[in-house]
Amino acid sequence: MRTPDQILGPFFPQGSKPVTQGDLTTVEGGDGPAQGEIIEVTGRVLDLDGKPVRGAALTIWQANTFGRYAHPNDFNPAPLDPNFVGFADIRSGDDGAYQIKTVKPGPYPVGPDWMRAPHIHIEVLGRLNA
Which domain, by its residues, includes 110? 38-127
Q: What is the pTM of this model?
A: 0.88
In a domain? residue 9: no
Closest CA to 23 of 81, 82, 93, 84: 84
In a domain? residue 61: yes
Task: Exactly one of 44, 54, 116, 127 is catalytic; name it.
Answer: 116
Position 111 scores a pLDDT of 85
In a domain? residue 107: yes
Contact call for residues 41 and 71 (beta carbons, < 8 A): no
- Is residue 98 among the annotated active site residues? no
Position 127 scores a pLDDT of 67
Domain containing residue 117: CATH number:
2.60.130.10
- Is residue 108 among the annotated active site residues? yes
In a domain? residue 31: no
pLDDT digits (tens, 9 = 90+) for 17-73: 899 999 999 988 889 999 999 999 999 999 989 999 999 999 999 999 999 999 989
From residue 54, alpha-carbon distances to 5, 18, 37, 39, 94 in Å are 21, 21, 30, 24, 5
In a domain? residue 30: no
Position 28 scores a pLDDT of 85
Q: CA-to-CA distance for 80 and 66, rounded, in angstroms?
A: 8
Count of structural domains, the chain: 1
In a domain? residue 114: yes
Q: What is the largest CA-CA distance in the chain?
A: 46
pLDDT digits (tens, 9 = 90+) for 3-19: 777 777 778 887 778 99
In a domain? residue 55: yes
